[in-house]
Amino acid sequence: MYRISYLFLYLKYIQISLMKNLFALLFLVLLGSSQLFAQDSLFRANGRVSNVRIMEVNSTQVKYRNPEGQGGPLFVLNRMEVEKIIYADGRVERFNAASNTEVGPNLSYGSVWGQTPKVDPLRTNFKRRYLNLSITDYFAGALTIGYEYFTKAGDYSLRVPVSLGFKTLGLSSYNIPETEYEGRQAYYRENKKFSTGFECFYYPYGQGKVRYYFGPAIEMGWFSYTDEVRTNVFPYTINNKEMNGSFQSVLVHNGILFQPTAEINFNIGIGLGYCQSRFRHQDVNGFETISSKRSEFAARFALTVGYKFN
C-alpha cells in the first residue's frame, strides 16, 4: 500500500516537472520568435521611413539589413542622412541630420557596404516651386508656361501647363493648313489656340542635381482647321472655311531634371501616348451640323528651362 502511494507521488512529481519545463520551453520559443520578427524603424532626413534590422551604428555610418532575416546585403547610410531610429524595443536614437549628403541617384535607399557616399546639397535642401518655359513648344508655334509643385519629400510633383498658340497671340501668320483628312497633326498643332492639363511625376530617387522622373500627363485644348462648305444657292460653290476643333491627349512621360543650381533648372524628356481630335463641322450660317472624332498616336518632346523658388 505504501509502495503504491510512493509511486503515485513520484509520478505526480514527474508530471509537475514536465509542465514547468514545457512552459519554460514555450516562453523561450515565443521570446525567440519576437526577436526574429522584431523590426526597427529607420527615418531618413528626406522623409522616407523604412522597416529594417539595424546591425551597427558608429560615428559616421548606420548599417542595416532587410527585416526578413540576417541574410541579404548589408546596406550603409551616412549618419547625416538619418533623422532618427526607433528600435523594436521602443528605444529612440536621434541624429543631427544634415541636408547635404546622399548616396547617389542609383543608391538612394542606402549604399552597399564599402561604397563612399556622395555629397549633393539638393538632396533635401531643394526648392519646391518650379516655373518653366517649353522650348520645343516655342518652335512648334506655341507659348507654353508650366507651374510645377513638389511634395515635401521631393518624390512627387504636380505640373499644370498653360499654352497659347502664336496665331492666337497674333505673333504668326504662318500655319500648316489642316483638314479632317489632310495635313492632320497630332500633339503639335500650328493652329492650336489654347491648351492646359495636369501632369503628375514621380521622382524615385528624390531631388538632386540630376534626377530621373516619370508619370502620366493629361491635356485638353482647342484648335482651328479648314473645312469645305457648299453654299445653299446656285451655283452651289464650295468655299474653305475656318472651323473650331478640340483635342485631348493622354501621355506617359519619362525624363531627367537637371539642376545645376538650386534656382536654374533644365528638363529633357519624352511623352508617348495617344491624342483624340474632335472636328466640329458647320454650315454656311455657322451652325454645327455634325462632329467626328479621330484618334492617333502622339509623341511630345520636353525641353524646358525654368526657375525654382520657395
Considering only 92-96, 179-183, 210-214, which range has the smallest mean pLDDT? 179-183
Distance from C-alpha of 205 to C-alpha of 173, rounded to nearest angstrom: 45
- Which of 267, 297, 36, 299 is CA-nearest to residue 131? 267
**Residue 205 CA: distances (Å) to CA of 106, 119, 123, 133, 202:** 7, 14, 9, 24, 9
- Which of 63, 156, 56, 149 is CA-nearest to residue 103? 63
pLDDT interval class at 198 (50, 70, 90): very high
**pLDDT higher at 110 or 48:** 48
In this predicted structure, the answer to whether residue 167 has a pLDDT above a threshold of 60 is yes
Q: Quote the pLDDT of residue 7.
A: 52
pLDDT interval class at 125 (50, 70, 90): confident
Extract long-range pairs of 284-290: CB within 8 Å, 24+ residues apart: 284/229, 284/230, 284/231, 284/232, 284/239, 284/241
The C-alpha cell of 212 is what? 530621373
Average pLDDT, the chain: 79
Distance from C-alpha of 65 to C-alpha of 55, rounded to nearest angstrom: 7
Residues 6 or more apart whose Cβ sits within 8 Å of residue 91 = none
Considering only 172-181, 218-227, 253-262, 276-285, which range has the smallest mean pLDDT? 172-181
Give, for 160, the enclosing helix (H) or strand (E): strand 156-165
Percent of the chain with pLDDT over 70: 70
Judge: domain 39-112, CATH 2.30.30. Answer: yes
Q: Quote the pLDDT of residue 281.
A: 75
Give, for 220, the enclosing helix (H) or strand (E): strand 210-230
End-to-end CA distance of the chain: 95
- Which of 65, 107, 99 is CA-nearest to residue 82? 99
pLDDT interval class at 239 (50, 70, 90): low
In this predicted structure, the answer to whether residue 5 has a pLDDT above a threshold of 60 is no
The C-alpha cell of 167 is what? 496665331
Q: Which pTM was predicted?
A: 0.61
The C-alpha cell of 282 is what? 458647320
Judge: domain 129-309, CATH 2.40.160.20. Answer: yes
In DSSP notation, 86-139 reads E-TTS-EEE----SS-B--GGGTT-EETTPPPBP-TTTTS---EEEEEEHHHHH
pLDDT interval class at 241 (50, 70, 90): confident
Q: Using one digit for the tens of pLDDT, what is the confidence trace for 16-31?
A: 554 555 555 555 544 5
Percent of the chain with pLDDT over 90: 34
Q: Quote the pLDDT of residue 249.
A: 94
pLDDT interval class at 116 (50, 70, 90): very low
The residue ranges of every structural domain in the chain are: 39-112, 129-309
Q: Quote the pLDDT of residue 49.
A: 86
Amino acid at 41: S
